[in-house]
């Protein structure tokens, strides 16, 4: 089964933009969910994150990352087999 990556974000969040640019630069496919325009997406984000009110919330398979930290994200992507370098 393929690893799914979701990024819960807002259009004005600089950390969201950095996270999405990082994933794109590594060739990792992801679903971008704009929680400002998608109330169901906001509800899903809060459910998977334990009620987080900040973005980005990044879900890599079963791992939830609140906020953007490139080192942590790269480590998890490697563990999930999505990143080789």
Over residues 31-52, the pLDDT tens digits come to 999 999 999 999 999 999 999 9
82 with 59: CB under 8 angstroms?
no
For domain 5-9+17-76, give the CATH superfamily.
Answer: Glutaredoxin (3.40.30.10)
What is the pTM for the complete model shown?
0.93
Q: Where are the domains of the chain?
A: 5-9+17-76
44 with 55: CB under 8 angstroms?
no
Report residue 10: phi and psi, to 5°. -130, 155
Report residue 6: phi and psi, to 5°. -125, 140
pLDDT band of residue 2 (cuts 50, 70, 90) is: confident
């Amino acid at each position: 089964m393929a690893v799914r990556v979701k990024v819960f974000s807002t259009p004005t969040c600089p950390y969201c933009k950095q996270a999405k640019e990082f994933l794109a630069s590594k060739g990792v496919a992801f679903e971008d969910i704009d929680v400002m325009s998608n109330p169901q997406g906001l509800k899903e984000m809060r459910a998977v994150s334990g009620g987080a009110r900040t973005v980005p919330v990044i879900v890599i398979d079963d791992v939830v990352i609140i906020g953007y930290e490139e080192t942590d994200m790269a480590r998890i992507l490697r563990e999930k087999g999505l990143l080789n370098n």
